[in-house]
Amino acid sequence: LTAREIQAVVFFKVTDTGELRVSMRSKYDVDVRRVANEFGGGGHKNAAGFSVAGALEDVRPAIIDRLVDAIGKGLETRPGL
């Protein structure tokens, strides 16, 4: 896997208070803002984030699923990437 092939990244940070902060970045038409909006956050199409209560291992699968969906929709608009 090379940087050229990467369409989006997500960073998870658990704060000292136990809050989970999620930051996402993407390229091209992958809209991470929509993912963030689903979890009560916001941002821009290619840079967005949110905070959520809950254990990382409990909420990570849902976040990853939404991000994978966003990547798929973004790739539909840019075939061949």
Q: Is 55 exposed, middle or buried (0-12, 13-18, 19+ CB in 10 A)?
A: exposed
Q: Which residues pair with 23 in a beta bridge?
A: 11, 49
Q: Which two tokens stand for residue 22?
A: 């999620």
pLDDT of residue 73: 86
Evaluate if residue 66 carries a pLDDT over 90.
yes
Domains and CATH numbers, the chain: 3-76 (3.10.310.30)
**DSSP letter (8 states) at residue 1:** -
pLDDT digit string, tens, across residues 3-62: 888 999 999 999 999 999 999 999 989 999 999 999 999 999 999 999 999 899 999 999
